[in-house]
Amino acid sequence: MTTMTFDAVSECRPGPKWHARWQRSWPAYEAWFIARGGDLGPDRRACRSAMQHHMPELVATYDQLVAVTGGSDRAARFLSTWCPPTYLGGCSLAARADDTGVRLVRNYDLSPDLNEGLLLRSEWVRPVMGMVEFLWGLSDGVNDAGLSVALAYGGNSEAAEGFGITTILRYILETCTTVEEGVTKLKRIPSHMAYNIVLADRSGTSASVEMRPGGGADIMPRAVATNHQRRGKPDRPSFTRTFERHAHLSGLETPAADLHKSFTSAPLHQDRFGEGFGTLFTAEYDPEAGEMRLIWPHEQWAQSLDAFEEASRHVALAPHPGWTPANTETGTDWAMAIYVDWVQVGRDYAEGRGQAVEFYIAAARQVEGNTLLASQARRKSPV
């Protein structure tokens, strides 16, 4: 058994609260950014220019965030999420509207060491509440106009020129009021990887959109999504069980108000934390009320845009048999998880030759050690 800490924070504009979060999370993100080749990506000017072209309404907030961090080139490039390193995730999504209400529900599936656990309420362009990714982007959220949105990995690690999807979701919630507006902008803004997006608004309108790497989007017939797309073949379907989860979602006839109940049990709920694929939380959004709940098997936490309460929750996550959390007698170094090649992990499990997560951490440690030795040797060599 292990626990995760979830924090609810309210700050209208980027200030000391966001800065404290930056100081806490940036060292790990910076290490990930460097290890994944982020320094070889577009320069600072190109990153800001891309944001100015595609998401001009967010530029003032972006500039303020960069200033709060101290203004380094690396921070500016990282926060733009323009052509970032690749990253993976899981997730199941569904939206439904009927006479019981409107709901958008998602499961967030990932390793507990790779999630920020931050629910942030802000008023950067308009009031928005959602789960933070990459320190200012969103994996899911709702705004004061009654628009809600959530993402799921599209199942293919191909990358192209575009933005990190969490920044795109932030942009949608900051600037759109309806599903129709959101879909229009999703079609316009390029995503750097394949992602599936589900949207719902207070009118009961919903949509599922498949974002293609480098730009382009396809509208799906049902407002559900897991980790594959109509185009192409997912790179690890047996690992994520994406087809099984999608079929289950497509067959649900649950009323909107009860939709969340299906997400807390198999096949949607995952407990393979040691493989980097456990359900860290279920998020239920009510666009009509501007409310949301974080749900776990034995606990839930309700929040509202109009009555947001800052607090922290320590939540117990039930692991699969054999998983040992960090800081125990096994000595598993979960800080090294940022260096693990999770793409390779997924492929190994999809092909039936997966290893315990400690194996991949040990491999990452060896690679980082060799990189450090090479760097030291270069510094000692005569110029």
pLDDT tens-digit series, residues 344-363 = 655 554 455 555 555 666 67
Query: What pLDDT, on the 0 to 100 scale, is given for residue 248?
Result: 97
Query: What pLDDT, on the 0 to 100 scale, is given for residue 379?
Result: 36
332: left (phi over 0), alpha (psi -120 to 50) or beta: beta
- Give the mean model confidence (pLDDT) for residues 22-47: 94
- Give the mean model confidence (pLDDT) for residues 123-148: 98
Question: ω into residue 267 within 30 of 0, thus cis?
Answer: yes
Helix (H) or strand (E) holding 312: strand 311-317
Please tell me which residue, 320 or 125, carries the higher pLDDT value: 125
Q: Which is nearest to 136 in space by CA: 29, 291, 294, 289?
A: 29
Question: Bridge-partner residues for 283, per DSSP?
Answer: 106, 294
Average pLDDT, the chain: 87
- Rounded to whole angstroms, the Cα distance separating 345 from 87 reads 12
Percent of the chain's residues with pLDDT above 70: 82
Q: Find all residues with CB under 8 Å of 128, minimum gap 6, and list them.
A: 121, 122, 138, 141, 142, 143, 144, 170, 173, 174
Nearest 5°: CA angle at 20, between 173 and 340? 80
CB 176 within 8 A of CB 185: yes
Gap between the terminal Cα atoms of the chain: 52
Q: Is 60 exceeded by the pLDDT of residue 109?
A: yes
- Give the mean model confidence (pLDDT) for residues 38-51: 97
Q: Is 80 exceeded by the pLDDT of residue 1?
A: no
Q: Is 92 helix (H, G, I), strand (E, B) or coil?
A: strand
Query: What pLDDT, on the 0 to 100 scale, is given for residue 373?
Result: 38
- Rounded to whole angstroms, the Cα distance separating 77 from 39 reads 9
Q: Is 70 exceeded by the pLDDT of residue 74?
A: yes
Q: Is 50 exceeded by the pLDDT of residue 332?
A: no
CB 148 within 8 A of CB 317: no
- Rounded to whole angstroms, the Cα distance separating 79 from 63 reads 10
Residue 243 CB-half CA count within 13 A: 8
Helix (H) or strand (E) holding 351: none
* 253-311 pLDDT, tens digit each: 999 999 999 999 999 998 887 676 789 999 999 999 999 999 998 899 999 999 999 99
Task: Supply 73's token pair.
Answer: 């080139």
Amino acid residing at 309: E
- Rounded to whole angstroms, the Cα distance separating 84 from 80 reads 9
What is the crossing angle of helices 59-69 and 16-35, to 10°?
90
Query: What pLDDT, on the 0 to 100 scale, is given for residue 2?
Result: 67
* 139-169 pLDDT, tens digit each: 999 999 999 999 999 998 899 999 999 999 9
Q: Is 149 helix (H, G, I), strand (E, B) or coil?
A: strand
* 176-203 pLDDT, tens digit each: 999 999 999 999 999 999 999 999 999 9
**The pTM is what?**
0.84
